[in-house]
């Protein structure tokens, strides 16, 4: 009998410090009207100086494990999607494993920037379907506030920090119906933080740079293509989707893609207004908010889609 991977619980965490657009207007030449009208973002959270991605992830995982009614002894796989890891190595997943008190598990990071959570979910799905794991923590955790260029108002206002997690369990009932991953490295310069650590110093630009309009145009088309790819793979039409959980970078991009797919506004989960763009954490954060607000319910069909630096992009179609 076939084995599937099902999402058994979700959790998320936002650091305490909440920063509004008006707060940012005191630091850079911007204003609430521009940020809201261009992006839909009203606030974002920033981690405290001593908080790392794994610290945010611990809270998100504990909440997801509680929701899934599993404890540390049940977890046999941890995948963390992050572009702002705690350190060069070991992986944030290994640090998280230790902080959660998980003794025996496979643990590694996935680097696909804003598409990281979907990449991690697709990877964990394959571990579970093949029997290599039975109970996985799939996490997106980011502290993007650490890699922002405060001289660049077109990017520094967009991002926030946070973490989201799901517990994925082996099941005889279908959960993750299909996943679809893509990458095109010829776009690597359009969205990047190219700095590296070399000979004891940072070499290259260690802050985020983005060609906003290139990403915008590519993203809208990619989300539309991803949705059709996932629908066709499962013999479904757009009406079958109960919830569209898209990467939360810009409300205009999300609604533009949803419109092209004829998804009604009430089926679209939007958290970018409250979270900003939290990169790999954005999809699991949005999922958790939608579950806890009583929107996503058992038996419903959820389409997740994300795109980020690389470019790397992907989708997951999930029966809840």
Judged by CB under 6 A, which of 249, 257, 258, 272 binds ligand UT7? 249
Does residue 174 belong to the site contacting ligand UT7 (CB under 6 A)?
no
- Beta-carbon neighbour count of residue 111 at 10 Å? 17
Q: How many residues bind ligand UT7 (CB under 6 A)?
A: 20
Judged by CB under 6 A, which of 45, 153, 169, 275 binds ligand UT7? 153
Does residue 38 belong to the site contacting ligand UT7 (CB under 6 A)?
yes
Burial per residue of 24-42, b for 16 or more beta-carbon CB atoms within 10 angstroms, e otherwise: bbeeeebeeeebeebbbbb
Which CB atom, from 78 or from 315, has the smaller least distance to ligand UT7? Answer: 315
Judged by CB under 6 A, which of 51, 62, 111, 154 binds ligand UT7? 154
Work out how close the CB of 224 gets to ligand UT7 at its nearest, in angstroms, rounded to a whole number: 14
Catalytic residue (choose from 94, 247, 250, 275): 247
Which CB atom, from 134 or from 188, has the smaller least distance to ligand UT7? Answer: 188
Paired tokens of 200? 């004891």
Which CB atom, from 12 or from 277, has the smaller least distance to ligand UT7? Answer: 277
Judged by CB under 6 A, which of 23, 32, 34, 238 binds ligand UT7? 34
Count, residues in the chain: 320
Which CB atom, from 166 or from 191, has the smaller least distance to ligand UT7? Answer: 191
66 HSE (CA, 13 A, CB side): 10
Chain centre distance of CA 54: 15
Does residue 245 belong to the site contacting ligand UT7 (CB under 6 A)?
no
Minimal CA–CA distance to 279: which of 136, 123, 162? 162
Minimal CA–CA distance to 258: which of 105, 29, 40? 40
Rounded distance between C-alpha atoms, residue 287 and residue 310, angstroms: 24
Could you give the 3-state DSSP secondary structure of residue 170? strand
Active-site residue, 21 included: no
Paired tokens of 2? 């076939």
Active-site residue, 247 included: yes
Residues forming a β-bridge with 169: 6, 135
> What residue ranges bind ligand UT7 (CB under 6 A)?
30, 34-35, 38-39, 114, 153-154, 157, 191, 212-213, 215-216, 219, 249-250, 253, 277, 308
* Active site positions, annotated: 114, 247, 277
């Amino acid at each position: 009998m076939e084995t599937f991977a099902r999402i058994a619980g979700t959790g998320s965490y936002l650091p305490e410090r909440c920063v509004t657009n008006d707060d940012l207007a005191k630091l850079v030449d911007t204003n609430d009207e521009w940020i809201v009208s261009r992006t839909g973002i009203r606030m974002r959270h920033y981690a405290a100086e001593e908080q790392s991605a794994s610290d945010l992830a611990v809270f998100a995982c504990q909440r997801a494990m509680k929701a899934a009614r599993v404890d540390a002894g049940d977890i046999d796989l941890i995948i963390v999607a992050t572009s702002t890891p705690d350190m060069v190595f070991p992986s944030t997943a290994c640090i998280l494993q230790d902080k959660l008190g998980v003794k025996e598990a496979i643990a590694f990071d996935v680097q696909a920037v804003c598409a990281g959570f979907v990449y991690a979910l697709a990877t964990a799905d394959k571990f579970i379907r093949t029997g290599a794991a039975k109970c996985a923590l799939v996490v997106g955790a980011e502290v993007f506030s650490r890699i922002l260029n405060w001289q660049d108002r077109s990017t520094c206002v967009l991002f926030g920090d946070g973490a989201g997690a799901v517990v994925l369990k082996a099941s005889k009932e279908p959960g993750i119906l299909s996943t679809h991953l893509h990458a095109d490295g010829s776009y690597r310069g359009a969205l990047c933080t190219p700095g590296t650590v070399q000979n004891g110093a940072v070499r290259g630009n260690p802050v985020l740079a983005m060609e906003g309009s290139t990403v915008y145009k590519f993203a809208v088309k990619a989300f539309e293509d991803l949705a059709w790819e996932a629908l066709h793979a499962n013999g479904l039409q757009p009406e079958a989707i109960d919830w569209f959980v898209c990467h939360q970078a810009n409300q205009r991009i999300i609604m533009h893609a949803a419109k092209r797919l004829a998804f009604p506004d009430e089926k679209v989960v939007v958290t970018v207004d409250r979270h900003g763009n939290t990169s790999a954490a954005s999809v699991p954060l949005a999922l958790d908010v939608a579950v806890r607000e009583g929107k996503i319910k058992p038996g419903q069909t959820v389409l997740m889609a994300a795109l980020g630096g690389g470019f790397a992009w992907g989708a997951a179609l999930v029966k809840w």
